């Protein structure tokens, strides 16, 4: 190290260290000895930060009817150090809160145990009891001044005006570790929307927490507001939410679905607003509020009928005969048929698909829809797919299958709705060319192989929400607006055009009207409502058939489109159709005239295991 | 074969005394800041102070073992250690559980370790080994590539994969050792200018210009770069001709921008880029024509600074986590928020201020007892010192650190071989960096970056890491004695 020309650099480096320490010592000198303002704060010492919880936004239905409000809930807090250093009347305190001294001791042990109650400090308020009703704290509130270190804080919980719409509304619960890490807004013990629209609109509904900063002396006693309250922040109430839901219609639909497994989805076709969304079985939203939440949630989780699943958006069924409407429209659009095209039906003796109804031999489109004629729609589907033959490796056929699939998917089937506020959804399934290639080999499948698709059976799966939306598109003669819950979203006009021209819809509407007047829906028709409908009975491997119904009304100016699915109920015409017509009747006229039918439906119990309880 | 007696006689006891003084004082403060009334005994090993005592005892044991290991091991196995360390750093985020956004902790049974705390030590060994090889010239740009890679790779892993910005920034401190070895002082200056540019871009980044388009931050930082260039041309190059050419060109650029702005809104960010491009091209041409390498250096400065300015904005908004962003914004006075992100610092200042001259006394601090200062036994432990031991205690602690760092510099200077010297300077740099950043943060002078106070903060990984760092240096130093004899 001789002749080191950088020799002097040691002094530069040492100088940097000396300089840093010198600056810091000067800073310390200023902070600790000169600056009186910091000392002033320091002598009165610490701040006590009290969070002010905002009240959550309210939820209204489409008519401004309040559905979800807030209720005050109280928690008793204790500053342990203050409580211990005063002559604390434990017995009196217990009496006011109606707890036993043993319970008091147990709670004390819990809150003073830093391993269970993390962040415990004897100088800051600890939650002693929580989620108390007003009447439970009233006695203590009156004589609060007697108990040093005790305070009562108010928060709000959800309050539901109706015991319904649980799947739509979702619930509010305490935040978990993941939320805390993802969003700096939350702190331990905060509430947030856990599912349903409470979760989708959490940011809007929650508002903003406020804070009140109080000054304390060195013993932790509150001395008053910090800096005259200049740094305090008011809580900002959450935004209110207006849903497209019609609460009366929702209520009726839920009542009708009692004792049945399935769902009802009703949409206003012109706006895409969801008027009713029922998944049955469901639960009373009030049962998931406050202290009972965790216990009741566990019960729902363990229920064999899976009430927590939102069947309206997550259950997947084959659409059955309701699918024939789309088949008719595609046939017309692709010019495979005209409204006057006739196909032959041989009734029970038809091949390869037999007919379940008896009607005339040569039938046209309207009658085909009215009678839900299986051979008619098989013939249509076959002609559609085979119109250019098969060519070498079935290329022509596959091309027509692809065109057909594009048509189907343009009605919103086979995919989740992405531009919506409905959080839990299933995709459904419209089989692709690739899927059939995989099952049957590239040349191994023809129209006859997939004949079940012609009548909505087989590999096709749809959710009730998709069915209702597809019905809305039919009612709108060729377009739909993404179904959504929040009315404000209707402004965004998320229009999706189908690939069918408007002119083809009239004949189909007439056919659907005939279903209600002369066809499978005739027993439950309400003529003055001008309902267009289609029933469906879906075979399934797990027992009785599922009953389906789609429909809209009135025919010339549709105000409601509906889909009803009742699992393992049998014929669509017997179960799904009456429920749908009553829901339509309720929405359009505000009342149910057919009391006998109403009584029969609500008393029907189609859930097997309900008797066992 | 040397005996252990010569090693013991060669050990620098001053360093050990300073180390023990700091560590024991730290332990007292951990006890103080985690103290609560129902705590039964100071020896209760389930609380933080008890655990720290166990860490401390094992650290001393670890140090003793290191002192007995042949110092040649570090020279011979340096790269193998380094490679193993890189491997460990890479697998850490895969095995780690997410703790507040950081993926840097490996849990083995009851203990959690943070490999990043040990990475500094092994990187220092590898850097020292590379730079001490025969014929190495730190002034040669090509010879800087490998050491920069040795430092940059673990830094990137820790920053990007483990999301521990604080632990990654520590690696910057190696520049100090480079500087001592003869690296141009301009590189250090460059580092300072980079930090200033970052602050300018962020601080004025969201302020729009009064005329035209573009942000105040970009304008101010671009003009600062030009000012540094003109300053260098004047002071260092004494090249008045280039100075006039560059200065006039830049003025013309902005003049055109202002003129155009009369008819169409001009984005002055682009004008800034154009003027920098002009400066770079102009000087490069001069450098080639006159064969002046020093001008090429200035061109390099212009280009890298320009990229940095553009990159800062991106890094600030895309790479930093939201909480880190808020901390910087609060420190730069862009957000005044004593109840939010500024809360920690505000509370920590109150705690320190309340200590006054001699403090409130051991275990008497209310601010810390009330748990108003978060992380009060780890990153913010200096608050407890300030509150309970006052100006005397906290200034005293700073002087202890200063003494330790100066002692290490002294040891570094008395080394006979370059390896030991560079390693010792790395140790000094790391300690200086930690102390500067940690205490600067607690004193509200620097943004909140979570790195521990060496030998002082609660935590086994950091205590072990620093002990390892120091013990290896002591062993290298002890070996010097008989190297002289032999």
How high is the pLDDT of residue A504?
94
- Pairs of residues, one from chain A and one from chain B, whose beta carbons lie less than 8 Å apart: 140
CA B9, CA A601: separation in Å to the nearest integer?
Answer: 99
B406/A31 CB distance under 8 A: no
Mean pLDDT of all residues in A254-275: 93
Q: Is the pLDDT of residue A591 over 70?
A: yes
Tens of pLDDT, residue by residue over A47-84, are 677 788 888 999 999 999 999 999 888 888 888 877 87
pTM: predicted TM-score of the whole model, two decimal places:
0.59
Tens of each residue's pLDDT in chain B, 486 residues: 455 666 777 889 999 999 999 999 999 888 877 665 444 455 555 677 888 888 999 999 999 999 988 888 888 888 999 999 999 999 888 887 766 666 778 877 777 788 889 999 999 999 999 998 888 887 777 788 888 899 999 988 888 777 777 888 889 899 889 888 888 777 777 777 877 777 777 767 767 777 777 778 788 888 888 888 888 888 777 878 888 888 898 899 889 888 888 888 888 888 888 888 998 898 888 888 888 877 888 888 888 888 877 777 777 777 777 767 776 776 665 555 544 556 677 778 888 888 888 887 777 666 665 555 666 778 888 988 988 898 999 999 999 999 999 999 999 998 888 899 999 999 999 999 999 999 998 888 887 777 899 999 988 899 999 999 999 999 999 887 666 554
B409/A10 CB distance under 8 A: yes
Are B145 and B8 contained in the same domain? yes
Residues of B in contact with A216 (CB under 8 A): 370
Give the max Cα distance, chain A: 116
A21/B322 CB distance under 8 A: no
* CA trace torsion A177, A178, A183, A187 (10° rounding): -10
A27/B443 CB distance under 8 A: yes
CA A279, CA A257: separation in Å to the nearest integer?
Answer: 8
A1/B399 CB distance under 8 A: no
> Reduced to 3 states, what is the DSSP secondary structure of residue A429?
strand
- Domains: count for chain B: 2
Are B148 and B228 contained in the same domain? no
Query: What number of other Cβ atoms are within 10 A of residue B456's Cβ?
Result: 28
Q: Are A237 and A57 in contact (CB under 8 A)?
A: yes
How high is the pLDDT of residue A611?
37
Are B26 and B137 contained in the same domain? yes
HEC secondary structure over A547-611:
EEEEEEECCCCCCEEEEEEECCCCCCCCCHHHHHHHHHHHHHHCCCCCHHHHHHHHHCCCCHHHC
Comparing A274 with A220, which gets the higher pLDDT? A274
Are B11 and B154 contained in the same domain? yes
Q: Is the pLDDT of residue A45 over 60?
A: no
The residue among B286, B303, B326 that closes a domain is B326
Instruction: Read off the DSSP letter of residue B235.
Output: I
A119/B366 CB distance under 8 A: no
* pLDDT band at residue A491 using 50, 70 and 90 as cut-offs: low
Residue-by-residue DSSP string for B164-189: -HHHHHGGGGGHHHHHHTT--HHHHH
What are residue B440's phi and psi, to 5 degrees?
Answer: -60, -40
B180/A13 CB distance under 8 A: yes
The partner residues of A262 in beta bridges, in order of sequence, read A280, A566
Query: Judging by beta carbons within 10 Å of its beta carbon (0-12, 13-18, 19+), is residue B263 exposed, middle or buried?
Result: exposed
Are B315 and B216 contained in the same domain? yes
How high is the pLDDT of residue A613?
30
* B336: closest chain A residue by CA: A231
Report yes or no on B391 lying in a domain.
no
Query: What number of other Cβ atoms are within 10 A of residue B235's Cβ?
Result: 8
Instruction: Tell me which residue of A380, A370, A377 sits closest to A533, measured CA to CA.
Output: A370
A123/B369 CB distance under 8 A: yes
Of the candidates B339, B350, B367, which has its C-beta nearest A211's C-beta? B339
Tens of pLDDT, residue by residue over A191-209, are 899 888 999 999 999 998 8
Q: Show the CA angle centred on residue A24, arms to residues A23 and A30, nearest 5°.
A: 95
User: What CATH number matches the domain at A47-65+161-243, 1.10.10.10, 2.60.40.10, 3.30.1330.10, 3.90.1310.10?
Assistant: 3.90.1310.10
* B433: closest chain A residue by CA: A17
Which range has the worst mean pLDDT, A266-270, A373-377, A603-607? A603-607
Question: Is A52 touching B (CB cutoff 8 A)?
Answer: no
Instruction: Tell me which residue of A22, A25, A21 sits closest to A34, measured CA to CA.
Output: A25
The residue among B294, B326, B358 that closes a domain is B326
CA distance A184 to chain B (A): 8
B416/A1 CB distance under 8 A: yes
Which of B97, B100, B356, B370 to mutate: most A Cβ within 10 Å? B370
B338/A46 CB distance under 8 A: no
Q: Is the pLDDT of residue A275 over 90?
A: yes
Which of A1, A9, A13, A234 to mutate: most B Cβ within 10 Å? A13
How high is the pLDDT of residue A221?
60
Question: Is A116 touching B (CB cutoff 8 A)?
Answer: no
Are B316 and B439 contained in the same domain? no
Report yes or no on B261 lying in a domain.
yes
Question: Is A2 touching B (CB cutoff 8 A)?
Answer: no
Q: Are A553 and A475 in contact (CB under 8 A)?
A: no
Report yes or no on B271 lying in a domain.
yes
How high is the pLDDT of residue A44?
45
A29/B432 CB distance under 8 A: no
B428/A28 CB distance under 8 A: no
B367/A46 CB distance under 8 A: yes
Report yes or no on B164 lying in a domain.
yes
Q: Is the pLDDT of residue A398 over 60?
A: yes
Report yes or no on B13 lying in a domain.
yes
A46/B372 CB distance under 8 A: yes
Mean pLDDT of all residues in A330-349: 90
- Who's near A37: CB < 8 A, 6+ residues apart? none
Q: At what angle do helices B13-33 and B48-68 cross, to 10 degrees?
A: 160
How high is the pLDDT of residue B41?
53
Report yes or no on B399 lying in a domain.
no
CA B408, CA A503: separation in Å to the nearest integer?
Answer: 90
Q: Are A76 and A129 in contact (CB under 8 A)?
A: yes
- Who's near B401: CB < 8 A, 6+ residues apart? A21, B22, B431, B435, B454
HEC secondary structure over B414-425:
CCCCHHHHHHHH
Which of A42, A44, A179, A227 to mutate: most B Cβ within 10 Å? A42
Comparing A380 with B363, which gets the higher pLDDT? A380
CATH superfamily for A247-283+308-607 is DD-peptidase/beta-lactamase superfamily (3.40.710.10)
CA distance B411 to chain A (A): 11
A42/B351 CB distance under 8 A: yes
- Report CA-CA distances (Å) from B458 to B29, B86, B111, B401: 9, 25, 13, 17
How high is the pLDDT of residue B30?
86
A302-337 residues labelled b (16+ CB within 10 A) or e (exposed): eeeeebbebbbbbbebbbbbbbbbbbbbbbbbbebb
A45/B339 CB distance under 8 A: no
Are B39 and B125 contained in the same domain? yes
Which of B178, B354, B388, B419 to mutate: most A Cβ within 10 Å? B354
Report yes or no on B375 lying in a domain.
no
The helix (run of H) or strand (run of E) holding residue A126 is strand A126-132
| Percent of chain A with pLDDT strictly greater than 90 | 46
* B323: closest chain A residue by CA: A184
Containing domain of residue B310, as a range? 207-326
How high is the pLDDT of residue B342?
61
How high is the pLDDT of residue A568?
86
Are B100 and B32 contained in the same domain? yes
Q: Are A512 and A549 in contact (CB under 8 A)?
A: no
* A217: closest chain B residue by CA: B366
* pLDDT band at residue A151 using 50, 70 and 90 as cut-offs: confident
A342-348: long-range pairs with CB below 8 Å, 24+: A343/A368, A343/A373, A343/A375, A343/A376, A343/A379, A343/A380, A344/A375, A344/A379, A345/A373, A345/A375, A345/A376, A346/A375
* A 10-49 → B contacts, CB under 8 A: 10, 12-14, 16-18, 20-21, 23-25, 27-29, 31-33, 35, 38-39, 41-43, 45-47, 49
* A 176-235 → B contacts, CB under 8 A: 181, 184, 211, 213, 216, 218, 220, 231, 233
Are B256 and B310 contained in the same domain? yes
Report yes or no on B119 lying in a domain.
yes
Which of B321, B372, B411 to mutate: most A Cβ within 10 Å? B372
Query: What number of other Cβ atoms are within 10 A of residue A440's Cβ?
Result: 13
Domain coordinates in residue numbering, chain A: 47-65+161-243, 73-155, 247-283+308-607
Of the candidates A6, A32, A41, which has its C-beta nearest B182's C-beta? A6
Residue-by-residue DSSP string for B319-335: IS-HHHHHHHHHHTTSS
A21/B402 CB distance under 8 A: yes
Query: What number of other Cβ atoms are within 10 A of residue A112's Cβ?
Result: 18
Question: Is A86 touching B (CB cutoff 8 A)?
Answer: no
CA B119, CA B82: separation in Å to the nearest integer?
Answer: 8
How high is the pLDDT of residue B101?
62
CA atoms within 13 A on the CB side of A487: 14
Q: What rounded mean pLDDT belongs to chain A?
A: 86
- β-pairing, A59-60 vs A241-242, is parallel
- Report CA-CA distances (Å) from B305 to B195, B273, B299: 10, 11, 10
A32/B413 CB distance under 8 A: no
Are B161 and B215 contained in the same domain? no
CA B41, CA B471: separation in Å to the nearest integer?
Answer: 32
CA distance A231 to chain B (A): 8
Q: Are A63 and A105 in contact (CB under 8 A)?
A: no
Are B48 and B170 contained in the same domain? yes
CA B60, CA B20: separation in Å to the nearest integer?
Answer: 9
How high is the pLDDT of residue A58?
94
CA distance A225 to chain B (A): 14
The residue among B304, B326, B348 that closes a domain is B326
Instruction: Tell me which residue of B383, B392, B376, B391 sits closest to B458, measured CA to CA.
Output: B376
HEC secondary structure over B3-33:
CHHHHHHHCCHHHHHHHHHHHHHHHHHHHHH
Instruction: Tell me which residue of A530, A524, A529 sits closest to A578, measured CA to CA.
Output: A524
What are residue A461's phi and psi, to 5 degrees?
Answer: -130, 140
Residues of B in contact with A233 (CB under 8 A): 339
How high is the pLDDT of residue B483?
60
């Amino acid at each position: 190290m001789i002749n080191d020309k950088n020799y002097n650099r040691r002094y530069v480096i040492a100088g940097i260290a000396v300089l840093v320490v010198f600056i810091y010592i000067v800073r310390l000198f200023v902070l600790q000895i000169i600056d009186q303002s910091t000392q002033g704060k320091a002598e009165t010492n610490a701040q006590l930060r009290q969070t002010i919880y905002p009240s959550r936004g309210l939820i209204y239905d489409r008519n401004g009817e309040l559905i979800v409000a807030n209720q005050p809930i109280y928690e008793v807090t204790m500053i342990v150090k203050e409580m211990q250093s005063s002559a604390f009347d434990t017995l009196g305190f217990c009496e006011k809160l109606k707890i036993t001294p043993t319970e008091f001791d147990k709670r004390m042990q819990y809150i003073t145990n830093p391993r269970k109650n993390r962040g415990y400090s004897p100088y800051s308020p600890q939650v002693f009891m929580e989620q108390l009703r007003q009447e439970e704290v009233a006695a203590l509130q009156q004589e609060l001044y007697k108990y040093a270190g005790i305070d009562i804080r108010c928060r709000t919980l959800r309050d539901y005006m109706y015991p319904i719409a649980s799947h739509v509304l979702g619930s509010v619960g305490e935040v978990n570790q993941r939320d805390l890490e993802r969003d700096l807004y939350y702190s331990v013990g905060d509430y947030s929307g856990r599912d349903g629209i409470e979760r989708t609109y959490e940011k809007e509904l929650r508002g903003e927490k406020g804070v009140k900063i109080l000054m304390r002396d060195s013993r932790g006693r509150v001395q008053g507001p910090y800096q005259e309250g200049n740094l305090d922040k008011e809580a900002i109430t959450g935004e209110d939410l207006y849903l497209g839901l019609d609460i009366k219609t929702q209520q009726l639909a839920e009542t009708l679905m009692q004792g049945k497994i399935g769902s009802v989805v009703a949409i206003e076709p012109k706006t895409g607003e969801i008027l009713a969304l029922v998944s049955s079985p469901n639960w009373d939203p009030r049962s998931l509020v406050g202290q009972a939440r965790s216990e009741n949630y566990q019960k729902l989780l363990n229920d064999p009928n899976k009430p927590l699943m939102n069947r309206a958006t997550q259950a997947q069924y084959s659409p059955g005969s309701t699918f024939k409407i789309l088949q008719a429209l595609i046939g017309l659009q692709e010019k495979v048929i005209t409204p006057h095209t006739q196909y032959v039906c041989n009734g029970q003796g038809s091949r390869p698909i037999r007919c379940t109804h008896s009607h005339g031999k040569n039938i046209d489109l309207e009658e085909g829809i009215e009678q839900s004629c299986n051979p008619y729609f098989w013939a249509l589907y076959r002609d559609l797919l085979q119109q250019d033959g098969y060519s070498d490796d079935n290329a022509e056929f596959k091309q027509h299958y692809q065109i057909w699939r594009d048509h189907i998917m343009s009605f919103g089937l086979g995919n989740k709705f992405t531009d919506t506020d409905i959080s839990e959804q299933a995709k459904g399934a419209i089989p692709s060319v690739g899927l059939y290639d995989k099952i049957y080999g590239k040349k191994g499948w023809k129209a006859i192989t997939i004949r079940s698709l012609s009548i909505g059976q087989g590999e096709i799966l749809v959710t009730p929400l998709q069915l209702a939306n597809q019905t809305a598109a039919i009612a709108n003669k060729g377009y739909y607006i993404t179904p959504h819950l929040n009315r404000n979203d209707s402004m965004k006009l998320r229009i999706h055009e189908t690939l069918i021209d408007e002119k083809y819809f009239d004949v189909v509407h007439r056919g659907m009207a005939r279903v209600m007047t002369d066809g499978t829906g005739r027993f439950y028709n309400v003529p003055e409502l001008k309902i267009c409908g289609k029933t469906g009975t879906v075979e399934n491997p797990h027992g009785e058939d599922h009953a389906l119904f789609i429909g809209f009304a009135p025919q010339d100016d549709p105000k409601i489109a509906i889909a009803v699915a009742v699992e393992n109920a049998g014929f669509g015409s017997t179960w799904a159709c009456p429920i749908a017509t009553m829901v339509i009747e309720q929405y359009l006229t505000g009342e149910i005239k057919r009391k006998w039918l109403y009584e029969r439906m609500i008393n029907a119990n189609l859930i097997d295991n309900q008797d066992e309880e | 074969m040397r005996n252990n007696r010569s090693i013991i006689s060669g050990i620098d006891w001053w360093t050990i005394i300073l180390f023990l003084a700091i560590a024991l004082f730290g332990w007292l403060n951990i006890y103080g800041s985690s103290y609560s009334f129902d705590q039964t005994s100071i020896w209760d090993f389930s609380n933080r102070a008890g655990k720290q005592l166990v860490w401390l005892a094992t650290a001393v044991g670890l140090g003793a073992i290191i002192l007995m290991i042949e110092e040649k091991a570090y020279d011979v196995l340096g790269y193998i250690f380094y490679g193993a360390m890189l491997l460990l750093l890479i697998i850490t985020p895969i095995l780690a559980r997410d703790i507040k956004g950081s993926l840097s902790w490996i849990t083995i049974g009851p203990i959690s370790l943070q490999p990043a705390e040990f990475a500094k030590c092994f990187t220092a060994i590898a850097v020292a080994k590379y730079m001490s090889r025969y014929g190495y010239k730190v002034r040669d740009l090509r010879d800087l590539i490998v050491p920069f890679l040795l430092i940059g790779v673990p830094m990137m892993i820790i920053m990007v994969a483990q999301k521990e910005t604080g632990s990654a920034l520590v690696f910057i401190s190696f520049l100090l050792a480079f500087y001592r070895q003869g690296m141009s002082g301009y590189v250090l200056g460059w580092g300072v200018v980079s930090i200033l540019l970052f602050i300018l871009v962020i601080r004025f980044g969201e302020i729009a210009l009064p005329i035209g388009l573009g942000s105040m931050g970009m304008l101010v930082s671009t003009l600062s770069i030009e000012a540094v260039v003109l300053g260098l041309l004047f002071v260092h190059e004494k090249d008045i001709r280039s100075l006039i050419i560059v200065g006039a060109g830049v003025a013309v650029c902005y003049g055109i921008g202002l003129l155009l702005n009369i008819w169409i809104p001009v984005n002055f960010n682009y004008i800034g880029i154009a003027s920098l491009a002009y400066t770079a091209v102009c000087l490069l041409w001069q450098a080639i024509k006159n064969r002046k390498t020093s001008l090429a250096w200035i061109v390099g400065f212009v280009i890298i600074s320009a990229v940095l300015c553009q990159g800062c904005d991106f890094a600030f908004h895309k790479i930093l986590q939201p909480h880190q962003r808020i901390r910087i914004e609060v420190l730069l006075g862009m957000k005044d928020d004593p109840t939010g992100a500024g809360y920690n610092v505000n509370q920590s200042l109150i705690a320190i201020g309340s200590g006054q001259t001699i403090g409130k006394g051991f275990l008497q601090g209310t601010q810390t007892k009330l748990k108003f200062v978060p992380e009060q036994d780890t990153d913010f432990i200096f608050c407890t010192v300030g509150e309970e031991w006052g100006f005397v205690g906290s200034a005293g602690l700073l002087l202890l650190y200063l003494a330790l760092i100066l002692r290490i510099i002294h040891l570094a200077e008395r080394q006979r071989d370059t390896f030991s010297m560079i390693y010792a300077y790395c140790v000094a740099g790391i300690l200086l960096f930690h102390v500067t950043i940690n205490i600067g943060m607690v004193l509200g002078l620097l943004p909140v970056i979570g790195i521990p106070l060496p030998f002082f903060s609660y935590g086994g990984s950091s205590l072990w890491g620093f002990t390892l760092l120091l013990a290896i240096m002591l062993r290298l130093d002890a070996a010097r004695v008989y190297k002289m004899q032999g």
